[in-house]
């Protein structure tokens, strides 16, 4: 498996703002790129170190089109395919970063100067936290029933590592942008897991106790 060391992390990276999506370390994100500026961004990344920063666009009422959260995660392009004037690619999450400033350039996409220091431990795989999978599966079954989600991979949920489980559920569960960002910014796997399970629990209880809704 390809690994990246701290010394390989660049000071400046191309950054792709997306809506309602976060990439977590060791997580996976599939992208379908059709915009010519973004295709140029991917081609440049492929010609260099294959690294692409993912940040979540802000969707608040007063946000500008270029507003994004300062904390994101860089991914390495692990595979790509050209198809009908599109690029289909998969990113594997490597390490989170803090955006310091955007770099002015003549390129048709965003490049940012970033700081890795607070998240450098992302390069080391975190040990399992001993999650009780029976409780998680029961909670997920209730949540999926409520939201209409369908899952046919319960055996995988019971067997994958804790960090992959958190990453997968953060991607597929329809949490709002702020909730997904909270999971991304949590310092440790244990904190991310706690936020995730609390979000699932609160969503389930909204149906049980509808009278407490505002």
Per-residue model confidence (pLDDT) at position 72: 97
Lowest-confidence region among 8-17, 128-137, 158-167, 200-209: 200-209
pLDDT at 63: 58
Q: Are strands 51-56 and 12-18 parallel, antiparallel or unpaired?
A: parallel
Burial of 18 (0-12, 13-18, 19+ CB in 10 A): middle
Token digits for 145? 């029933």
Q: What percentage of residues in the chain have a pLDDT greater than 70?
A: 93
Mind listing the pLDDT tens digit for each residue in 3-44?
A: 889 999 999 999 999 999 999 999 999 999 999 999 999 999
Task: Compute how many other C-beta atoms are within 10 angstroms of the C-beta atom of residue 102.
Answer: 14
pTM over 0.75: yes
- pLDDT of amino acid 37: 93
Q: Percentage of the chain with pLDDT > 90?
A: 57
Residue 209 has pLDDT above 60, yes or no: no
CATH of 9-123, one of 3.60.110.10, 1.10.10.10, 2.30.130.40, 1.10.10.410: 2.30.130.40
3-state helix, strand, coil split of the chain in percent (to 5) is 40, 25, 35
Query: Which sequence spans correspond to the domains of the chain?
Result: 9-123, 133-209
- Which pLDDT does position 214 carry in this prediction? 40
Q: Summarize the confidence of residues 86-99 as an average pLDDT.
A: 95
Read off the pLDDT of each residue in 134-140 and give the average, rounded to a whole number.
Answer: 85
């Amino acid at each position: 498996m390809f690994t990246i060391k701290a010394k390989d992390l660049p000071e400046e990276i191309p950054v792709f703002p997306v809506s309602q999506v976060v990439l977590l370390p060791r997580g996976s994100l599939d992208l379908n790129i059709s915009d010519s500026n973004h295709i140029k961004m991917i081609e440049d990344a492929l010609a260099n170190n294959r690294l692409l920063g993912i940040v979540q666009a802000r969707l608040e009422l007063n946000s500008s089109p270029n507003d994004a959260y300062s904390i994101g995660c860089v991914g390495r392009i692990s595979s790509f395919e050209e198809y009908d004037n599109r690029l289909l690619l998969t990113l594997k999450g490597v390490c989170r970063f803090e955006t310091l400033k955007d770099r002015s350039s003549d390129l048709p996409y965003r490049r940012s100067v970033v700081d890795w220091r607070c998240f450098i431990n992302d390069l080391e795989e975190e040990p399992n936290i001993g999650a009780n999978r029976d409780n998680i599966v029961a909670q997920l079954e209730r949540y999926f029933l409520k939201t209409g989600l369908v899952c046919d991979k319960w055996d995988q949920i019971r067997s994958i590592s804790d960090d992959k489980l958190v990453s997968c559920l953060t991607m597929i569960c329809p949490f709002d942008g702020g909730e997904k960002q909270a999971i991304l910014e949590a310092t440790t796997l244990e904190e991310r897991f706690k936020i995730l399970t609390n979000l699932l629990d609160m969503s389930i209880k909204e149906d049980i106790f509808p009278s407490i809704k505002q």
